Amino acid sequence: MAEIKIAKILGDKVLVKIDEKIKKSAGGVIMDNDNQTPSTKATVISVGTKVDESIKEGDRVIIPEYHPGNKINLDDTITDTKSIGKFIIMDTKDILGIVESW
């Protein structure tokens, strides 16, 4: 993943990258994702200044299906195509859980 440079996330907020759902046909063709429900999996990219140590950068988290928070577009600043995606700055209270593995 490319390093994303955010000066500072403030308060009890976190910046997360939504894990894209990729649907493939039996033949390996990637299908359109427009009609799918939003992913509930995300990766923490940056944590705010008042976030306790239970949530840290790199954590895989479960978030609500319809994501609360502010959607932002970082695609213009990212050169690594693996990092392009949907980003949200959200309150830590909206994170439903931290996943140890999936």
Task: Give per-residue pLDDT as tens, 16-70.
Answer: 988 876 666 777 776 665 556 667 889 999 999 999 899 999 999 999 887 777 7
* 76 occurs within a structural domain: yes
More confident residue, 85 or 49: 49
Q: Which amino acid is at 66?
A: Y
Number of DSSP helices (H) and strands (E) in the chain, helices first: 0, 6
- Going from the C-alpha of 102 to that of each of 60, 91, 98, the distances in angstroms are 9, 23, 11
In this prediction, residue 29 carries a pLDDT of: 72
N-terminal to C-terminal alpha carbon distance within the chain: 18
Number of domains making up the chain: 1
Specify if 86 maps to a domain: yes
Domain with residue 80: its CATH number is 2.30.33.40
SS3 97: strand
- DSSP 8-state class, residue 54: T
Q: Is 4 domain-assigned?
A: no
Torsion of CA 7, 84, 47, 58, to 10 degrees: -130
Range of the domain at 66: 13-21+36-99
Residue 65 lies in a domain: yes
Beta-bridge partner residues of 14: 47, 90
